[in-house]
Chain A
């Protein structure tokens, strides 16, 4: 630590920081633009100028840029110095030379860093009297609006997009005062993290196009803390709502998980909440007659009908959901009994999840957070397409490859915050990143080595690497020379690293790659390395569901077909995604009563005898466990209309309807509030025992007050319902959380799960997060970053996996079909969001060019393919990265019931279509 003197007051700060970060960290206000806590200093905007004095006897001092000056011991500066203040006001005056001052019509208005900084410097009067430059704006696709005239040329957009996130199609063009930040030509921004431009841009150049479509000022948004439900990483988000419409998603800082950035699927995938396909009313078939369509009915009547039926059934089974909260799943489990509770994931996923859980529980190596991944200095990915399955983790890998070159930066005594110098020193040097998989993405450009092969071969590579690292790990015979050399290179790089990370997952459907990954990590652990494992799983609560435990889906099917049960409750799940259509059809047909609780119309819901409208994430409270095993709480943002309510409340009501006698009621029927649900869930499995500690209970108060979801500048409260009533209705009650649906309540320091919007006096933009951190860029004050539920015992001896598969053998007629997921289109809920829907690409089949030649298929031709009883129209992509003898298939959501990996005779399966491109 170092002592610095700012305006004659001493502060103790971290000497590894720059003066700007140090000043912000101790709560001083100093304006800035080009600096960003995650992207370091480049000294472009000159906004953070302060006066630095050599010593006590230096009367004049000199202006320095705080962001480019180290906070070294004894540094004496002045923020309030008249010269420094005047210079900072001048910088704003220069920036305003060309800024259009269109705040009233600008989407950024009210949360604009440029507004905040302008007010902070005190610049008010325009002296520039000449013409302003104007630009033509570009159409950048469904996510981002572009308004270049507002640009203040801080370069943050290109620094984020290109340098941090690996994008290529956004750049800075021109020179002097005619700079242009955009694409070479109009077109959709390609990078999967483009949405962060909305937050990175200090003003309104890049704004959220989905917000624009139902625009609301930040101060008019009712907001609450959420957890992204569109993949397994559990990024923290802030969801904003007004008039019952979710308006936008912003990043919510969590130092251990997503930090400052989200992926576009997470940011723009919320549209499903506002969908006209939402189920809003409780529906029931009249007299539960299968021949009649389900009709809206009053909730009490529906419950009475169901209760009547439930009391007479032979047996009820419940099918849970990897996208529903722990509490909802636990409620179902309680209602039907643990023996009749089934996980609602397909057979293969069930098996892979069990393997992953057992590796994390019994092996010595802990799972990695995204933050851990960013800090890793060597990474080996086995068979997982991170960019499409867990995008934010792919972004973390782009940071991990910077770790090893940092050794040189340290040797040169360049401070790590000095991004400008770091870039010059590091250049294109990258630390080790090895990627083995069956599909190439642009992230491979960052890889030291890429290996494209079938899952079995990838597993063999992994086992071989493990065998070379740890003498106890089984080794692999009969490797080709190339693979043996590659395994050696990977083993060498991993053993040279300090914090290696091994990543695998369920994405390729291969048990062997998961086991191989575990062997590599364990071998490294034995080698004394601080090793981490990361397993990507399919959905936002896949791990939570697996921790809760339940039967296999085919046993659920069997119990109906074998007439052990006749009634099924399906919780937030479309079974057609989980099994072949014929099986699901038979199952739903045979079951006497099908009760579905879900939020959106879907294929299973269409078969429901009783359909109950479930609240989506932003309409409910719950706990999700991410792929790391981290339990995190999401909060209800607003009160939905119609009959929509939390799934656990529906299940509670079903339980009560089933046994209406008030006494003798047990289990879910006794739950009244969310906290009841949490404590009951905590009691279901030992690993869940502490989930109540994830966030404060509903009884939490500060000075006797709840925490408001609405900002204190929320407008129109007295008038927004005036078309219905001139009386201001009381705010809806919230018995479940310490939050209130109102403006009233406590505003001040809070445990991080309760921060509904980042805001501080003078800091209206998302940059206000600085004011919630003790050390800028570090954890939030009172951060509760979720709770890791699985911590292995580091001293445990690994129980090596020994089932090394034989090498993959292509066959003459059969191709091994492998799944290809898609960041846009590969997830059930975000698919239903209009902005995401625009980015979903057509289904395709990917083949190696030599396989294409064998099948007489040219690139980009359209074929019809018969697969598991269905016919699909697909484009053919010939890609040399597709392993020979395999076929990658990307079918999108509609065909997600297709079971892969599977061997298919393509000579037979390809029905019609042009094998050659039509000229």
Chain B
């Protein structure tokens, strides 16, 4: 690694100034470190289309888990004098993915970064109003964002035209009333409108028919944090941060029985092995690695053989899985994989919005089947039923991605830990449990 201090800091644009003691970076410090500098560029003649082009060239991809190229997402927003007004920028800060805490780190440590990123997105898309849709439990983030927004208003970054332009941006913070499905962008929009948090039919996409029926961009928090840096330093610099064709850095996290659970901002494309072994310090003594959910619980298990894949949006083959949020949950040999998956499926069943049949009725059934495995009451027929659900709860079959996401860990668990499922049936109990086998009544 280079010894040049500016070079080192440039490797961690999102988190370099975040205080290790957990205190937030306030406005004065933020500005001193170059914050709101990107807005100067706009004032000095960078047109919205220039920002859009720059973001497109940077290769920035959505950090919420989908990895959709931000530039192309933006290209669907109607621009020009005939475009529907107002347009909205919504920050998806409903970070409810189990095991995922990257957005919280950013919002608690550096709330102004989000404000600046949203102003930037607003400018690029000629949108005048922003909403931060914040997970209800993120009280500290709410406090710090509220203060940052007030500071930005006081300084004239918000609520007034930027000097020399007619562009003015207003920003509101909305704390969610809860529910995992609000992380789905259209359910989020419904929730923001005060409706049931049920996903919307697509098309039309929010870019044309979004919040209050108006053109809307919903963007993950981490994605928005990247924008000022891309505008400040350019797309070539941004590409150079990553190891692969997807630009920039990624906040990776690890939880589970590893030596040093935590988070690290690393070049996009860092391998899982590197994150787990170099940064998280490997498994705890006496504990062995069995698999990892690479980015939240709606991603498929990766096992030992996949650990050298670059962890980005394009290098993981679809049949293996996907990066998701990049915050990994490690499964070890002291934990029952069936119980592990049961815990996930219970969560998914509870968080189904109840709109479409396969998800609403299928997930609770799956959870009950897994429960019966854990209780030692399962049969081979139950394995077939689990397989049926993994087949039918697929993208396009359900109304949104929740149920297919729920099937990713189950399907991969059935693939990689099939023996463990069968041992539950054969033993009539969970092999990881001390409880005696269930008496089974054969009918």
A and B physically associate = yes
Interface residues of chain A, those whose CB is within 8 Å of chain B, are 42-47, 49, 62-64, 68, 87, 90-91, 94-95, 97-98, 127-128, 130, 152-153, 155, 172, 174-179, 412, 414, 418, 420-421, 424-427, 429
- The answer to whether the Cβ of B410 comes within 8 Å of any Cβ in the partner chain is no
Tell me the complex Cα distance, A471–B397, Å: 60
Q: Closest residue to B181 on the A side, CB-wise?
A: A175
Give the distance to chain A from B20, nearest Cβ to Cβ, in Å: 40
CB distance from B405 to the nearest CB of A (A): 15
Say if the beta carbon of B22 comes within 8 Å of chain A: no
CA distance A592 to B80 in the complex (A): 85
Q: Taking the nearest CB of chain A, how far is it from the CB of B241, in angstroms?
A: 37
Do residues A44 and B361 form an inter-chain contact, with CB atoms below 8 A? no
B351 within 8 A of A: yes
**For the complex, what is the distance from the CA of A77 to the CA of B394, rounded to whole Å?**
19
What residues make up the interface of B, taking CB atoms closer than 8 Å to A? 179, 196, 200-201, 203-204, 208-209, 212-213, 349-358, 360-365, 368, 381, 385, 388, 392, 394, 396-399
Could you list 23 examples of A-B contacts with CB < 8 Å?
A42-B201, A43-B201, A44-B356, A46-B356, A46-B357, A90-B388, A91-B358, A94-B358, A94-B365, A97-B364, A127-B385, A153-B360, A175-B352, A176-B350, A176-B352, A176-B360, A177-B352, A177-B354, A178-B354, A421-B203, A425-B204, A425-B213, A427-B213
Give every chain B residue within 8 A of A98 (Cβ-Cβ): 361
A811 vs B201: C-alpha distance when bound (angstroms) = 58
Q: B209 touching A424 by the CB < 8 A rule?
A: yes
Q: Would B362 and A94 count as touching, CB distance under 8 A?
A: yes
Set of chain A residues within 8 Å of B203, measured between Cβ atoms: 414, 421
Contact of A177 with B397 in the complex, beta carbons under 8 Å: no
On whether A90 and B392 interact (CB within 8 A), knowing A153-B354, A175-B352, A426-B213, the answer reads yes
What are the residues of chain A within 8 A of B208 when measuring CB–CB? 412
Further pairs besides A43-B399, A46-B358, A427-B212: 10, Cβ < 8 Å: A44-B355, A90-B392, A94-B360, A95-B357, A128-B365, A174-B354, A176-B353, A176-B354, A177-B364, A420-B200
Pick from A44, A130, A412: contact of B357, CB under 8 Å: A44
Hey, which chain A residues are within 8 Å of B353, CB to CB?
175-176
- Determine if A87 and B392 form an interchain contact, defined as CB atoms under 8 angstroms apart: yes
Identify A425's interface contact among B209, B350, B361, B394, CB under 8 A.
B209
Residues of B close to A97: CB separation below 8 A: 361, 364-365
Are A94 and B179 touching (Cβ within 8 A)?
no
CB pair A44 B399 closer than 8 Å = yes
A45 to B361, CA, bound (A): 11
Contact A175 B179 (CB under 8 A): yes
CB closest residue in chain B, given A414: B204
Residues of B within 8 Å of A94, CB to CB, are: 357-358, 360-362, 365
* Distance, CA A427 to CA B350, complexed state (A): 29
Give 6 closest A-B pairs by Cβ, nearest first: A94-B361, A420-B201, A427-B213, A176-B352, A130-B368, A179-B354
**Which has the most chain B C-beta neighbours within 10 Å: A44, A175, A425?**
A175
Q: How far is the CA of A414 from the CA of B209 in the complex (A)?
A: 10
A68 to B399, CA, bound (A): 11
> Which chain B positions have C-beta within 8 A of A127?
381, 385
Give complex CA distance A174, B354 in Å: 9
If the complex has contacts A128-B365, A421-B204, are A43 and B356 also in contact, measured as CB distance less than 8 A?
yes
Contacts of B398 in A (CB 8 A): 46
Q: Which of B209, B350, B355 contacts A412 (CB 8 A)?
A: B209
Chain B residues within an 8 Å CB radius of A175: 179, 352-354
Residue from A46, A63, A64 having most chain B Cβ neighbours under 10 A = A46
Least CB distance, A768 to chain B, in whole angstroms: 23
- Asked whether A176 lies within 8 Å of B209 as measured between CB atoms, the reply is no
Pick the contact of A87 from B200, B209, B355, B397 — CB < 8 Å? B397
Known contacts: A177-B352, A426-B213. The answer to whether A62 contacts B204 by CB under 8 A is no
Q: Please pick, from A47, A130, A153, A424, the residue contacting B204 in the complex, using a CB distance under 8 A.
A: A424
How far is it, in angstroms, between the C-alpha of A602 and the C-alpha of B59 when the chains are bound? 83
Nearest-Cβ distance from residue A810 to partner chain B, whole angstroms: 42
- Which residue of chain B has its CB nearest to the CB of A178? B354
Question: Which residues of the other chain, B, contact A412 by a CB distance below 8 angstroms?
Answer: 204, 208-209
Which residues on the B side are within 8 Å of A45 (C-beta)? 356-357
Q: Which residues of A contact B361 (CB under 8 A)?
A: 94-95, 97-98, 177
Find out whether the CB atom of A424 lies under 8 angstroms from the CB atom of B200. yes
Which single residue of chain B is at the shortest CB-CB distance from A411? B84
Residue of B352, B354, B394 with most partner-chain A CB within 10 A? B354
A421 touches B354 (CB 8 A): no
CA distance A779 to B196 in the complex (A): 35
A903 to chain B, nearest CB (A): 48
Question: Min CB distance, A341 to chain B, in Å?
Answer: 58
CB-CB < 8 A to B388: which residues of A?
90
In the assembled complex, the CB of B345 is this many whole angstroms from the nearest CB of chain A, namely: 12
A429 touching B213 in the complex, CB below 8 Å, given contacts A91-B358, A177-B361, A421-B201: yes
Contact across chains for A424 and B392 when beta carbons are under 8 A apart: no
Residues of B within 8 A of A418 (CB): 201
Chain A residue at smallest Cβ distance from B397: A63
B346 CB, min distance to chain A CBs, angstroms: 11
Give the one of A172, A176, A177, A412 with max B CB within 10 A: A176
- Which chain A positions have C-beta within 8 A of B200? 420-421, 424
- The distance in angstroms between the C-alpha atoms of A326 and B361, with both chains bound, is 55
Determine the distance from Cα of A652 to Cα of B360 in the docked complex, in whole angstroms.
Answer: 65
| B179 CB contacts on chain A under 8 angstroms | 175
Q: In whole angstroms, what is the CA distance A95 to B359 when docked?
A: 11
